[in-house]
Structures are given as structure tokens and as C-alpha cells.
């Protein structure tokens, strides 16, 4: 029995038996591309469940369809070759997602100073004066603003990633 030689920098993933993955998700379930696609999505969902906190960039629908038509379909009854080709394909296309940490660092560095400036200017600007920011102690206000900035940076990253996937 072979093992998935995929290593995403995490222990344990290389110990997933290829035969078990193939039998569970793909054997006798992939007569059409739509079935293959559903099996692949289920495999990726379970992969992300097994490795919480990890995010993987998977191939686009066109890449998956190309693999199915050119590699998978011609190997109709040869399950051993399908296992080998599937593992090869996974190694080539499924990669650990990369995140640009510079946005988080910038938000984390700029937010505390911005919070203090906001609080001080809030005392003289009529629109901000009604929020009574002067009543909040800096010990609470600064971390809340920093957390909000980091959450905003995360949302921005997710939005950019979603646009890349759908384009």
C-alpha cells in the first residue's frame, strides 16, 4: 500500500494511505466528470477538516476537467494507474495557501497609534464627540482598535483570494 507523499510541512499527512483515499473517494464513483468533481471537492473538504487551520490552494475547475479528460478518463479500468496519476496530480496542484503577512504587520503596527490619534481628535471633532471615546480607557480602546484592524486585514485578504479563485 502506497502513501500520499504530499508534505505540507505538517506531520501525519504523509501517513494517509493512497489506497484508502482512492477507495473512499474515487473508486467506482467517477464515471462522469460531475461525479469526479464532487469526489474531489469532498476529498479537499475532508483534507481541510483533518488539518485544521490549514488552507490549501486547489486546482481550478478547468484544470480539474483537463486532468479528468486527458489522464483519468483514458485509464477507465486500471485502478492502480489511476491511484498513481491521482497522487502525482495532487502533488503538482494542491499547495499550501500562502498569505501575505505584510498587511497584518502593517495593521498591527499602525492600529495602536491610529487609535490614540482617533481618541484625541475625537475630543474636538463634533461628529466623533458624540461617541464619548474619552470615557474608554486606553487599555481597552487600543487593543479593540488593533483587533478591528487585523480583522479588517483578514477580510481584505479573503476578498482578494475569493476574487482570484472566481476569475
Output the pLDDT for position 115.
Answer: 92
The three cell numbers locating residue 4:
500520499
Query: Is-above-0.85 flag for pTM?
Result: no
pLDDT digits (tens, 9 = 90+) for 145-163: 999 999 888 888 777 766 6
Output the pLDDT for position 162.
Answer: 66
Output the pLDDT for position 141.
Answer: 92
Q: Give the residues of the chain that fall short of pLDDT 50.
A: 1-13, 15
Amino acid at each position: 500500500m502506497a502513501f500520499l507523499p504530499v508534505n505540507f510541512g505538517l506531520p501525519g499527512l504523509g501517513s494517509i494511505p493512497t489506497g484508502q483515499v482512492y477507495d473512499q473517494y474515487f473508486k467506482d464513483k467517477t464515471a462522469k466528470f460531475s461525479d469526479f468533481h464532487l469526489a474531489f471537492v469532498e476529498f479537499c473538504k475532508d483534507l481541510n477538516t483533518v488539518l485544521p487551520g490549514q488552507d490549501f490552494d486547489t486546482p481550478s475547475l478547468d484544470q480539474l476537467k483537463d486532468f479528468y479528460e486527458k489522464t483519468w478518463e483514458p485509464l477507465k479500468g486500471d485502478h492502480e494507474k489511476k491511484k498513481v496519476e491521482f497522487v502525482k496530480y495532487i502533488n503538482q496542484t494542491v499547495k499550501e495557501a500562502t498569505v501575505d503577512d505584510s498587511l497584518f504587520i502593517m495593521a498591527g503596527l499602525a492600529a495602536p497609534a491610529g487609535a490614540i490619534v482617533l481618541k484625541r481628535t475625537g475630543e474636538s471633532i463634533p461628529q466623533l464627540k458624540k461617541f464619548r471615546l474619552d470615557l474608554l480607557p486606553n487599555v481597552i480602546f487600543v487593543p479593540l482598535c488593533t483587533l478591528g484592524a487585523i480583522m479588517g486585514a483578514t477580510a481584505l485578504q479573503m476578498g482578494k483570494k475569493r476574487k482570484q479563485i472566481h476569475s
